[in-house]
């Protein structure tokens, strides 16, 4: 019923405004198969991503419905990725509605880019535009020369979307005894006192670009509070907690290269611990930062990032490492007058010696038509990437942009 109503609303919007509306988007077929002996399909999707713009005077409307058919479970999902109104004034503008907020300078990593939560139902394999979840928010931008002041108020909380049971991306945590879940404290209330707010100052100059940000928000992932029971079971109470943070990012051209940096400091983040006397959770401040380097050598684009996570006040019973180190590497080159792009991107987890390798070729068949052939290869036995060692896959995508 909800899908039908949404479809009718979108079509009515397009019909009424067809004389003035500008629309674009893409149609895509995406097929992936595991590289095991059976070659089981991991992805069979057909997607219609439609973006519609309508402007009149100082007001602009934008709506982005997405129709996604999953052939593996014969399910059609219709959703609104974004739907908002922009109102423009002389020195500031307002954006009201469901929107994606993109902050920071990192590539493939979320550090200060945390205002929009993530859809991790397919791990981090989809395009980041599809990973970011649109949030209901009011965004205010004030422009002063080369500087911009931005404020975002989010009235309702949207958590991370995690893989469902039965998915190849679902990971069950091991416990030494049977467990029971109590969700009474799980939901964040829909009230003003539970809303989120974030502020950002950005400067765009000839010598350097930088951003300063602060936010009073919720951790998008719940802490698992664990309680021992008399009957030898464990009672687990998932609960979301406030997570204040401050951060900064910059990028600077150095010769023919670009140097980037980004960091965030989180206050009282909850971490899982072995100590049951504190119900399996401790609060510690936490820092997450990176440095990056981008360069083009003789037509070959190369990008490198070093990312570190540091738990301040670390104690031995915390399950995470005190320092978690990750590197990313990207190399790409265009051929055939930029009709063919060959690309290799990788994440490498230094602590667990695990990795995700993502080779891909992209070929522009004709105007708007694109063919992709690639692979997602997981290496290791544990860690963020090694835990999915059995999920190696090949994939093809056929996409038409209009």
Residue 175 has pLDDT above 90, yes or no: no
> What HEC string does the chain produce?
CHHHHHHHHHHHHHHHCCCCCEEEEEEEEEEEEECCCCCCEEEEEEEEEEEEEEEECCEEEEEEEEEEEECCCCEEEEEEEEEEEEEECCCEEEEEEEECCCCCCCCCCCCCCCCCCEECEEEECCCHHHHECCEEEEEEEEEECCEEEEEEEECCCCCCECCCCCCCCCCCCCCCCCEEECCCCCCCCCCHHHCEEEEEEEEECCCCEEEEEEEEEECCCCEEEEEECCCCCEEEEEECCEEEEEEEEEEEEECCEEEEEEEEEEEEEEEEECCHHHCCEEEEEEEEEEEEEEEEECCEEEEEEEEEEEECCCCCCECCCCEEEEEEEEEEEEECCCCEEEEEEEEEECCCCEEEEEEEEEEEEECCEEEEEEEEEEECCCHHHHCCHHHCEEEEEEEEEC
pTM: 0.90
Q: What is the pLDDT of residue 295?
A: 97
Q: What is the pLDDT of residue 8?
A: 55
pLDDT over 90 percentage in the chain: 84
pLDDT digits (tens, 9 = 90+) for 59-113: 999 999 999 999 999 999 999 999 999 999 999 999 999 999 999 999 999 999 9
Q: What is the pLDDT of residue 9?
A: 58
pLDDT digits (tens, 9 = 90+) for 229-277: 888 888 999 999 999 999 999 999 998 999 999 999 999 999 999 887 7
């Amino acid at each position: 019923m909800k899908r039908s109503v949404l479809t009718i609303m979108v079509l009515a919007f397009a019909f009424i405004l067809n004389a003035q509306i500008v629309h674009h988007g893409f149609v895509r077929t995406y097929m992936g198969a595991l590289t095991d002996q059976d070659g089981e399909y991991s992805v069979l999707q057909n997607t219609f991503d439609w973006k519609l713009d309508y402007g009149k005077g100082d007001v602009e409307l934008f709506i982005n419905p997405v129709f996604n058919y999953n052939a593996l479970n014969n399910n059609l999902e219709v959703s609104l990725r974004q739907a908002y109104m922009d109102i423009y004034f002389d020195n500031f503008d307002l954006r009201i509605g469901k929107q994606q907020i993109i902050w920071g300078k990192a590539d493939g990593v979320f550090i200060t880019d945390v205002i929009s939560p993530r859809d991790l139902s397919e791990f981090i394999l989809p395009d980041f535009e599809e990973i970011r979840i649109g949030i209901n928010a009011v965004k205010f931008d004030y422009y002063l020369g080369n500087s911009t002041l931005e404020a975002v108020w989010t009235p309702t909380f949207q958590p991370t979307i995690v893989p469902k049971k039965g998915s190849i991306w679902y990971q069950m945590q091991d416990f030494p005894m049977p467990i029971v879940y109590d969700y009474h404290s799980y939901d964040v209330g829909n009230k003003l006192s539970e809303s989120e707010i974030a502020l950002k100052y950005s400067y765009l100059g000839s010598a350097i670009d930088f951003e300063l940000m602060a936010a009073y928000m919720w951790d998008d992932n719940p802490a698992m509070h664990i309680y021992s029971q008399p009957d030898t079971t464990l009672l687990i109470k998932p609960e979301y907690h406030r997570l204040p943070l401050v951060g900064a990012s910059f990028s600077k051209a150095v010769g023919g290269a670009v140097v980037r940096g980004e960091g965030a400091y989180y206050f009282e983040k909850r971490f899982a611990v072995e100590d049951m006397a504190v119900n399996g959770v401790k609060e510690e401040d936490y820092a997450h930062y990176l440095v990056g380097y981008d360069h083009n050598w003789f037509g070959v684009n190369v990008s490198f990032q070093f990312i570190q996570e540091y738990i301040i006040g670390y104690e031995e019973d915390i399950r995470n490492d005190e320092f978690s180190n990750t590197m990313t590497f990207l190399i790409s080159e265009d051929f055939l007058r930029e009709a063919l792009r060959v690309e290799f991107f990788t994440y490498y987890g230094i602590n667990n010696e695990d990795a995700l390798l993502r080779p891909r070729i992209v070929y522009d068949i004709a105007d708007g038509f694109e063919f992709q052939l690639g692979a997602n290869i997981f290496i290791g036995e544990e860690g963020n990437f090694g835990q999915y060692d059995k999920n190696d896959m090949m994939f093809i995508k056929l996409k038409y942009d209009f």
